Structure 1
Amino acid sequence: MNAHKEPFGQTAEGREVFAYTLASSKGLRARITDYGATLVSLYVPDRNGHLEDIVLGFDDLQGYIDHTAYMGATVGRYANRIGGARFTLDGVEYTLAANNGPNHLHGGIKGFDKAVWDTNEVVAAEDEAWVKMTYLSPDGEEGYPGNLQCTVTYTLTNADELRITYEATTDKKTVVNLTNHSYWNLAGQGSGDVLSHELMLNAEKFTLIDKHLIPNGIIASVLDMPLDFIRARTIGSRIRQTGNGYDHNYVLSGTPGELKLCAQVREPKAGRVMEIHTTEPGVQLYTGNFLDGTPAGKGGATYDKHAGFCLETQHYPDSPNKPNFPSTVLEPGRTFTSQTVHKFSTK
């Protein structure tokens, strides 16, 4: 295994930003920047051994600063949406930034995706290499209570896995929901749309949503709906029936907190397969519905609508306002932990 560091740019405030490359002996290569604790690229071989970058993104720091699609980023303090941009804890109402219509999305105006994280460890061992990044979200940031100390660790293994592990502690009762927002295209970034990718989701249910994409509290079956991916089918097979595309939270089968199968995706031409396991209770399937070709991506690539898909492992949207959903409350003295594993193969 190998790991190395290189400059990636500088923020307007003069903060140096770096990129870290992790490489396995089998050819996988991941690049992560401390701006937003963001996965910049992931090179994975196809069935003929040809390496291709399968993560949408940008060539330099400025692309990530200017663009708001959360490409590859760690999003928080609360991933996904909080209805009405407010929630109540112990009788105290907290008002958040309304940055998605009347609602709060992905941590607010300056979420974790726009923060420069501190890098604590870059290690290359015999069978795995990892980079560990930390960020202290101060009490009141974007309206959230408590000083939240967060850690994200990206680990690349010789078993062809990319593991993302999260930890967080707080000094005041708060809510937390962290995820990675990579846009994947297993044919290679910039190669066109992902509608021919074959997707299986280990989920028989989803959270019903209103017109603002906020759950109404009802958990419904996906059977006989275009949301049904219990058996593998192409992403594009019924996408038109959804309207603009998929942007839905699925309730994963299995026990929350235990590592379990979440999804399997296969791209038939190159033969790349990505299997995801997670400890999270849900996953948001998003099909890049608002990508419009601007700005240019890596190597001048054009990312049009559906140029990538996201599988954001998470707790459910608006959980702080839905007592019947798994709790996202974190109390002092407790540690939030979460892990998602992406395993790659060919078929």
Structure 2
Amino acid sequence: MAGSKIKKDVFGTLPDGRNVERIVLHGEGGFEARVITYGAVLQALIVPDSKGAYDDVVLGHDAFSGYLAERKFFGATVGRYANRIAKGQFSLDGETVQLPVNNGPNALHGGLDGFDRKLWEIASIDEGAEPAVTLTYVSPHGEENYPGRLDVRLTYRVTGPAELSLSMEARTDRPTIVNLTNHSFFNLEGATSGSPILDHRLMVAAEHFLAIDPTAIPLPEPPRAVAGTPFDFRNAQAVGARIRENDQQLRNGKGYDHTYCLARDGRLALAARLEAPRSGRVMELLTDQPGLQVYSGNYLDGTISGKGGKLYRQSDAMCLEPHIWPNSPNRPDFPSPRLAPGEVYRHHTVYRFAVKSP
């Protein structure tokens, strides 16, 4: 349709013959969000720079074969439980649940075959002033050993000239746990720029973070103050300014791979601001989640060929993942991921883009 704010096509085909569809949401100018139904992935995000040039700012693949071949979570919707659960085990209402472990001794990002590897359904497309697509996935009881059927509903919506909103809801038929996030890898100089994000300036609106053990499970201690540590981003700092300091937490994470503790009142608020020095692109991330995982691309090792045939290497991208704190099913002092029948899990995150003069 001429002048349509939404386009849809086939992005690829699964081995069983099912089509993977791509939905393109258009904002003002050349702003675009491209979503595929496999993994509810944000496949591309086209954003202007300070000179008015548009470029894709999320890592990933140009063709579907790349997403199918390697599980690297580029742009994916992660669930049923984002981040890690120690030893893949937790107790729920007196019952012990054992999940598959897929990250050393721990369960990570939903297990062996999480939501990022599922084909989601298109529930609706909104061609209105704020173009949107809503995707759904039904996780059956016992999938990856998680209890309860989980009905998940996710909406990507263009809510401003250069603003993408992500809203997620989930309901269950029996007590379970749920913790969802989007796992986009951002490089505001451009996904094919070949430029590391170490000179990106980062602000995180948090006074505390979760210190981790060498397997990235939070230590059995209260949240640690960022003051006086390389983890203090309350005022904007270059990501790489302190990343190689002699700090045990940086050693444990191989860089930044830590949860920052945000306000817990459930309201949408600014959590982080990321700024690229050459393109002038600025991204503000707002969320209603209690935690923000800050990950400096430490495990990108040059083995994956991404968009434009570029090899993705360490610190080629920054992940900012809003979610409930890691290992929270085993930590009653942490925000709870428990969901009961009749309750609704909700997650709202906004990615707001602007530019400043380089």
* TM-score calculated relative to the size of structure 2: 0.95
Matches of 1:193 and 1:269, distance apart in 2 = 12
Q: Is the 8 A contact 1:30 1:43 kept in 2?
A: yes
Would you say 1:59 and 2:68 are equivalent positions? no
Would you say 1:251 and 2:261 are equivalent positions? yes
Matches of 1:262 and 1:189, distance apart in 2 = 23
Matches of 2:293 and 2:60, distance apart in 1 = 19
1:196 Cα deviation (Å)? 0.4
Would you say 1:231 and 2:235 are equivalent positions? yes
The within-5 A match list for 1:247-326 is: 247-252=257-262, 254-326=263-335
**Greater mean alpha carbon deviation, residues 212-221 or residues 110-119:** 212-221
Partner of residue 174, structure 1:
176
Structure 2 unaligned blocks of 5 or more: none
Q: Percent identity?
A: 46
Q: Is the 8 A contact 1:292 1:303 kept in 2?
A: yes
Aligned partner (choices 25, 28, 42) of residue 25 of structure 1: 28
1:125 Cα deviation (Å)? 1.1
Matches of 1:301 and 1:66, distance apart in 2 = 16
Aligned partner (choices 108, 131, 140) of residue 138 of structure 1: 140
Partner of residue 83, structure 1:
86
**Cα RMSD after superposing both structures:** 1.0
Q: Which AA in structure 2 matches 1:226? A: P
| Secondary structure in structure 2 of the residue aligned to 1:273 | strand
Q: Is the 8 A contact 1:22 1:31 kept in 2?
A: yes
**Greater mean alpha carbon deviation, residues 71-80 or residues 287-296:** 287-296
Matches of 2:310 and 2:59, distance apart in 1 = 9
1:25 Cα deviation (Å)? 2.5
Residue-by-residue CA offset, 1:111-132 (whole Å, 9 max, x unaligned) = 0000000011122212x11110
Partner of residue 14, structure 1:
17
Matches of 1:129 and 1:26, distance apart in 2 = 14
| Secondary structure in structure 2 of the residue aligned to 1:88 | strand
Partner of residue 350, structure 2:
341
Aligned partner (choices 191, 205, 211) of residue 202 of structure 1: 205
Matches of 2:265 and 2:213, distance apart in 1 = 25
1:339 Cα deviation (Å)? 0.1
1:15 Cα deviation (Å)? 1.4
1:245 Cα deviation (Å)? 1.2
Aligned partner (choices 339, 342, 345) of residue 330 of structure 1: 339
Matches of 1:255 and 1:214, distance apart in 2 = 21
The within-5 A match list for 1:180-195 is: 180-191=182-193, 192-195=195-198
1:273 Cα deviation (Å)? 0.3
Matches of 1:56 and 1:217, distance apart in 2 = 34
Q: Which AA in structure 2 matches 1:146? A: G
| Secondary structure in structure 2 of the residue aligned to 1:320 | helix
Matches of 1:52 and 1:199, distance apart in 2 = 20
Q: Is the 8 A contact 1:190 1:307 kept in 2?
A: no
Matches of 2:102 and 2:62, distance apart in 1 = 27
Residue-by-residue CA offset, 1:159-202 (whole Å, 9 max, x unaligned) = 32110100000001000000000000000012221000000000
Q: Is the 8 A contact 1:11 1:17 kept in 2?
A: yes
| Secondary structure in structure 1 of the residue aligned to 2:157 | strand
1:268 Cα deviation (Å)? 1.2
Aligned partner (choices 20, 42, 45) of residue 45 of structure 2: 42
User: Which aligned runs of 4 or more in structure 1 are off by greater than 4 angstroms?
Assistant: none
Matches of 1:339 and 1:159, distance apart in 2 = 19
Matches of 1:137 and 1:157, distance apart in 2 = 29
1:295 Cα deviation (Å)? 2.2
**Greater mean alpha carbon deviation, residues 26-35 or residues 215-224:** 215-224
Q: Which AA in structure 1 matches 2:256? A: Y
| Secondary structure in structure 1 of the residue aligned to 2:211 | strand
Matches of 2:348 and 2:161, distance apart in 1 = 17
**Greater mean alpha carbon deviation, residues 316-325 or residues 21-30:** 21-30
Matches of 2:105 and 2:160, distance apart in 1 = 45
Q: Is the 8 A contact 2:57 2:187 kept in 1?
A: yes
1:311 Cα deviation (Å)? 0.2
